[in-house]
Amino acid sequence: NPFIPTNFDLLTVDADIESIPVIIHNTPMMRVWFKQDVEFLKPKTLMNLDFCSPIVYSDPLNCNLTHLFVQLFKDHLNEYLYAAGLAGLRLGVANTTYGVSVSIGGYSHKQHILLEKMLDDMFNFKIDEKRFEILKEQYIRNLKNYQAEQPYQHAVYYLALLLTEQAWSKQELIDATELVTVDRLRTFIDELLSRMHVECFIYGNVNKEKALEMSSKVEDKLKKTDANVVPLLARQLMLKREYKLNNGENCLFEMTNEFHKSSCAELYLQCGMQNDQANVYVDLVTQILSEPCYNQLRTKEQLGYIVFCGSRKSNGVQGIRVIVQSANHPAFVEERIEHFLNGMVDYLENMTEEEFKRHKEALAAMKLEKPKRLSSQFTKFLNEIALQQYHFNRAQVEVAFLQTLTKQQIVDYYKEYIVKDASLRRSLSIHVVSTAEGGAGHKDAPADVAKQSTDDASTQKDFVKVGDLAGSKSTRALYPMVQPYIDIKPKGSKCKL
């Protein structure tokens, strides 16, 4: 087994060690982040490589081709991943909306052998036609099976589909599988590998010299491609953005589900762009709402087994969402959610300072909790790099602001953004109505289940119905992207005007 490590020594710590990841190599084709571990002191290293290309998500067909390439590649790697696993090394490959992500972790000593084998196989990839047919069929089956998933999963999926700048639906992906052939995949893989940008992060028992040596193995492969001649531009590597809901607007998107008796209502309140102050407001409000929401809607009103209240942070924007999967009609359930949210104003105003302080302390403790493992710390750093915000001391800055918050500020924020008819409230409701026998949308549904209103005027709203996805998106503005917290140029080649 070539992967079995024999050297477990820790490398000497670089003299100029930084407390956060730093860039040690930056070209138009590749950027390398590095951080030597001085906390956990294990003879292990973790590494992530993001192979980015604008073609992978440019249309539903390319999205399918990327997925199949990754599945076939993973399938091919299995022949030596077992041996690597026995030697304490692991390798993961996944497709993202930006490209292909490869992660390698485990004992440092023989990690370079696994990296070299993976790169050789990736850049000289040959399609196994028998496996292609099997994996394609499996992929199509998984896409079709999504219809039978739980209603709350559908609600989460539709919300992302409506708000993300570019997102392909399951049906669009299914339709595009008609064009997926071995020849087309072969051509696509050649095109994908010919022009990529790689962002790499290496953390653990590794010094600057070793990190550069590891990353040079990747760069040597890139130098033999077209990216060496014409690298990808920074504009081709920009992150996706989020659509903006209008102040005072209540949007509604309705879909049916014929596989489950339960229906689902999801109410999403968009709270604006992410920044240190806004993040703390959203996190503290969800921290306070979470337990009473479950207690009221699940325990007391018994609307359904699945009741969730939490924040949604995506594409640099954030908001608060309440999800209830219930046998009742989503329109009825949503009115109960609104009733609960309106009632929480009194709860907040009557909350003692002592109780408010306890909420603040619980949130601060959660934010400041130190990662207990090398992999947790790695994930935390990697998340900031992936978001392209590079806010490595986020927790400390947010907690410092949290300490200054008063109860009145939270009450004012709640009245501005959360309660019905609030001046800055922007809401999007997703209703997944069950048309199965016994479901709220079935023609023979019992009256108590099919009931769509509570007849409470204080919770009723005028909805703007969202029907056509393209039509809805074409009339909306996009939020800007969150700018990096450190002085850094965008990755990729500089544009020449």
**CB-neighbour burial class of residue 56 (10 A; exposed 0-12, middle 13-18, buried 19+):** buried
Angstrom distance (rounded) from CA 203 to CA 44: 9
pLDDT value of residue 497: 63
Q: Are 368 and 399 spatial neighbours (Cβ–Cβ below 8 Å)?
A: yes
Q: Are 196 and 31 spatial neighbours (Cβ–Cβ below 8 Å)?
A: no
Angstrom distance (rounded) from CA 70 to CA 65: 9
- Cα-flanking dihedrals φ and ψ of residue 391, to 5°? -95, 75
- Which of the 8 DSSP states describes residue 177? G
pLDDT value of residue 90: 96
pLDDT value of residue 478: 95
- 3 state DSSP class of 331: helix
pLDDT value of residue 444: 83
HEC letters along 196-230: CEEEEEEEECCCHHHHHHHHHHHHHHHCCCHHHCC
**Minimal CA–CA distance to 484: which of 49, 31, 101?**
31
- Which of the 8 DSSP states describes residue 74? H
Q: What single letter denotes the amino acid at residue 160?
A: A
Describe the chain by its helix, strand, coil percentages, rounded to 5.
45, 20, 35
pLDDT tens, N- to C-terminus, the chain (497 residues): 999 999 999 999 888 888 999 999 999 999 999 999 999 999 999 999 999 999 999 999 999 999 999 999 999 999 899 999 999 999 999 999 999 999 999 999 999 999 999 999 999 999 999 999 999 999 999 999 999 999 999 999 999 999 999 999 999 999 999 999 999 999 999 999 999 999 999 999 999 999 999 999 999 999 999 988 899 999 999 999 999 999 999 999 999 999 999 999 999 999 999 999 999 999 999 999 999 999 999 999 898 899 999 999 999 999 999 999 999 999 999 999 999 999 999 999 999 999 999 999 999 999 999 999 999 999 999 999 999 999 999 999 999 999 999 999 999 999 999 999 889 999 999 999 999 988 888 888 888 887 887 777 777 788 888 888 888 888 899 999 999 999 888 888 776 66
pLDDT value of residue 421: 87
**Minimal CA–CA distance to 117: which of 78, 72, 69?**
78
The DSSP annotation for 342-404 comes to: HHHHHHHHH--HHHHHHHHHHHHHHHHPPPSSHHHHHHHHHHHHHHT---TTHHHHHHHHHHH
- Please give the domain boundaries of the chain with CATH numbers for all domains: 22-236 (3.30.830.10), 250-475 (3.30.830.10)
